[in-house]
Each structure stands twice: as C-alpha cells, then as structure tokens.
Structure 1
Amino acid sequence: MAEMSVELVAVERRLWSGTATFVVAQTTEGEIGIMAGHEPVLGQLVEGGVVKVTTTDGEMVCAAVHGGFLSVTGTGVSILAESAELSDEIDVDAAKAALNADDETERTRATAQLRAAGKSA
C-alpha cells in the first residue's frame, strides 16, 4: 500500500510524525480524506475538529484539533494546529464537565476531545 509522510504539529509541540496510509481531517469546506498521491491542497481546520491518521502499521492516531491548517504536498501531509491533544492525553471527565460550560468555545473543544477519545458527546 502507498504511504506518505505525515506531521501533526500544534503551536506548543509536535504531537506525531511518521508514515501513514490515510489521513482524515475536518476543514471549513468539509471533511477531507487524504491518501498518498493526493493532489496538493491547503485547507483551514475547523475549531473543535478531529484528525485521524492511519499509520503504515495499521494503528490509528486520533487528535482533537482546534483551528489551524492542513497542507498536502506531493510528498506528504502537514497538520498545523493552533492547539491539539492526542486521544490518549485527553481527560475525559474534565471534557464531560466542560460540556456544560457557559463559553461556547470551551463546549466546542470538549466535544472534539470526547470524539477524539472515542467517547461521543
């Protein structure tokens, strides 16, 4: 199966990098799936989105992503997020509690965290 280089980076750190066979991200234009050989594209990531990367080992890397950009070139995919958390780093109880917050941005972030952690909101 064809593979591509993928980097998932937030402002404060690199979350994951490696080779993958498939990437799914939510952009302002809709959900996009990327495979090796995809045409170059630049997309704006939605606030409270989820990015899923299928590694060449068949594992799934999932992250809650809050804003940023997706860049696809002939050699790979770069996900440049304003902030992001890998699914295994998410405090599910805190995210559930944040669903009742007065701040809509906080609720959006919590919903994305729960989706990324596999605990649908």
Structure 2
Amino acid sequence: MKTVTVNIVTPDGPVYDSEVSMVVAKTTSGEIGVLAGHIPTVAPLAIGAVKLKKADGSTELAAVSGGFIEVRPDKISILAPSAEVASTIDIARAKEALARAEERVQKQKTDNIDFKRADLSLKRALNRINVHQGNI
C-alpha cells in the first residue's frame, strides 16, 4: 500500500510527522479522506479529530482546533492554531477546560459574555477529551 508523508504544524512548532496510508479530517464542508497520490487540494478544517491510518493497520488520532489541510500527491500538511496527538493530551487539563467552558456558556445567559467564543472553547475541550479517549 502506498504511503504519504503527513505533518501537522502549529504556531508552536511541529506536532506530527510520519508516513501514513490514509488521512481522514473534518473540513468545514464535511469529512475528507485522502490517500497517496490525491489531487492537490486545500480545505479549511473544523474543530475535530484527524485520523491517521498507518500502513500496518493501526490508527493514530490528533485533535485539531481548525486551520487548513493542504494536500499534494506526495505530502499532506495540516496547519492548525493548536493540535495535539491523542497520546500527548493532558486529560486532566482538558477536563478543567471543559468545566470552564461549560460555566462560561451558562453565564452567557445572564452576563454579557461572548457566546461564540465560549462555544468554541467548549467544542475544543470536548474534541480533546474525545480524541484522547478514542471516542470519535
């Protein structure tokens, strides 16, 4: 099976760099599956999990908080504001972020808090927890 190099990069530096047989990512217009040799494509990413299927049949997961996926026949680059591979997610920190986000969403009903910002925080926290637990 053919493989393609995938790298995930954030402003803080590289998060992932490996050969995979398939990448599945959630774009703003739906899910995209990419194999080696795919036509060049650029798409905006939604907050979600990126599935990285290895040639040996194993799958790795990464949580991304938006950004872009750039596909070339021999390389796939994911540029994201933040991203974490499932094995590196600090689950306690993610659960604390979820609790804070839920509190902000509830406060929005009575205070003048930016609901969209609170909702995005909630989605990012849930995504990190789900990716860590493999619930995607």
- In the superposition, the TM-score normalised over structure 1's length comes to 0.88
After TM superposition, give the deviation of residue 92 of structure 1 in Å. Answer: 1.7
Instruction: Note the residue ranges of structure 2 that are not aligned, 5 or more in a row.
Output: 105-117
After TM superposition, give the deviation of residue 10 of structure 1 in Å. Answer: 1.2
Flag the structure with higher strand content.
Answer: 1
Secondary structure in 2 matching 1:58: coil
> Residue 88 of structure 2 aligns to which amino acid in structure 1?
E
Given that residues 51 and 63 in structure 1 are in contact (C-alpha distance below 8 angstroms), is that contact kept between their aligned partners in structure 2?
yes
Q: How many residues align structurally?
A: 120
Alignment of 1:38 with 2:33, yes or no, is no
Alignment of 1:117 with 2:132, yes or no, is yes
After TM superposition, give the deviation of residue 72 of structure 1 in Å. Answer: 0.5
Secondary structure in 2 matching 1:82: coil
Number of the residue aligned with 1:22: 22
Whole-Å separation in 2 of the counterparts to 1:32 and 1:83: 20
Flag the structure with higher helix content.
Answer: 2
After TM superposition, give the deviation of residue 99 of structure 1 in Å. Answer: 2.7
Whole-Å separation in 2 of the counterparts to 1:64 and 1:9: 12
> Residue 106 of structure 1 aligns to which amino acid in structure 2?
S
Which has the higher Rg, Structure 1 or Structure 2? 2
**Pair 92,119 (structure 1): closer, same or farther in 2 beyond 3 Å:** farther
Instruction: Note the residue ranges of structure 1 that are not aligned, 5 or more in a row.
Output: none
Number of the residue aligned with 1:11: 11
4+ aligned runs moved over 4 Å, structure 1: none
Whole-Å separation in 2 of the counterparts to 1:18 and 1:64: 16
Number of the residue aligned with 1:106: 121
Whole-Å separation in 2 of the counterparts to 1:27 and 1:56: 23
**Backbone CA RMSD of aligned residues:** 1.8
Alignment of 1:94 with 2:93, yes or no, is yes
